[in-house]
Amino acid sequence: MTALTGLRVIEIGTLIAAPFAARLMAEFGAEVIKIEALDKGDPLRKWRKLHEGTSLWWYLQSRNKKSLALNLRSAEGVALVKQLAEGADVLIENLRPGALEKLGLGWDVLHALNPKLTLVRISGYGQTGPYRDRPGFGAIGEAMGGIRYTTGTPGVPPARVGVSLGDSLASMHAVIGALMSVLRVKTGQGDGQVVDVSLVESVFNVMESLVPEYSMLGHVRERTGGALPGIAPSNTYPTGDGGFVVIAGNSDPIYVRLMQAIGRPDLAERPDLAQNDGRARHCELIDEAIAAWTGSRGIDEVLEILEGAEVPAGRIYSAADIVADPHYQARDMLLDTTLPDGATLKMPGIVPKLSATPGQVNWQGPTLGQHTDGLLAELGLSEADIQRLRQGGVVQ
């Protein structure tokens, strides 16, 4: 048994935010029924790198899910979703605000059908406010949430993180909200509720002291490259063999050990550098000392010395480095699955690790409509009923 065994989740979403949230729940045992459009399904099936016509990302993003190919523009298709909602615990969607209502599946309808149902709504700006109706993707959430402005090198346009961070942060907030609501229902404290998740707000929520610093001090945090502003030393440093190492020596005792390891006891002993506020004022001096030391050694030697001194440090990993790393392998973070054509695909393992009810991967992303017949049969439809719906363009 896994942590969410017995929980039924309906996913009406595409691409990243809602599907990633549902995937996290599916990995821990929730039965996730993914509603897909009849003709092409989720556009993610064709995103990024493909193998035999199917996205490799798809196999990861939709693992453990059941695919129900359904025409939501038909009254019978909407009626089937209502039947599913009557026996579900959570419905996750990332349509534009108001779109669910236009389908006849608004909160008032769903709540009347199943008072215990939790409706998780992920959108660019949330279900209220003056920007409610604007289209919003994760990239816009990153821009308006504050993280793009602070990412990159000073003096050049802001950079983006190389993954869809805004969507992923929204997904995690969505799961947290969903489980809070489900816990309330399961413990008899009340009915289901709406969980309103904004891409912008999900990014903003991880921006630490960005607003307090501006509010109290008028300070606008700018781009600082590989450094962590106001926390020293924490930066990316070049090594003598052309590599780069990230060193985080920002706690007081770690800083002392770092300075001793690089042969700068003078900086370790200075009273004005004993605490972070003092080091932050002299971060350039400290960074120059560290860079001079790392630049005279290869990255392996740097890491060996710092590990011996118990200073957090690490090389910057590529995909190839991750796949070859023994720690990833020992932690079951690299799982092999077999694709329909017999090819072996390596994909990330499950996070977090639970000792009593760990998550598991039962199957990779399904083919379009793979579970349609079985799910409809569970709703009480006969083979003749299913065939009629198929001929009428209601189901795949």
| Alpha carbons 23 and 15: distance in angstroms, whole number | 12
Q: At what angle do helices 299-308 and 252-261 cross, to 10 degrees?
A: 130
| Alpha carbons 33 and 253: distance in angstroms, whole number | 51
| Alpha carbons 386 and 396: distance in angstroms, whole number | 10
Query: Going by C-beta distance under 8 Å and a sequence separation of 6 or more, which residues neighbour residue 182?
Result: 7, 89, 90, 118
| Alpha carbons 391 and 393: distance in angstroms, whole number | 5
β-pairing verdict for 334-338 and 344-348? antiparallel
CB 198 within 8 A of CB 134: no
| Residue 237 phi, psi dihedral angles, 5° rounding | -125, 140
- Enter the tokens of residue 141: 């959430």
- Enter the tokens of residue 248: 């985080």
Enumerate the β-bridge partners of residue 12: 93
Instruction: Please spell the DSSP secondary structure of 155-168, one letter per residue.
Output: TSPPP--SS-HHHH
Residues known to be catalytic: 167
Per-residue DSSP letter, 395: B
β-pairing verdict for 8-12 and 31-36? parallel
Query: Going by C-beta distance under 8 Å and a sequence separation of 6 or more, which residues neighbour residue 40?
Result: 46, 368
Residue 329's SS3 state is helix
Q: From 104, 119, 154, select the one nearest 9 (Cα to Cα).
A: 119
- What counts of helices (H) and strands (E) characterise the chain? 18, 13
- Enter the tokens of residue 93: 């969607």
β-pairing verdict for 50-51 and 90-93? unpaired
CB 81 within 8 A of CB 385: no
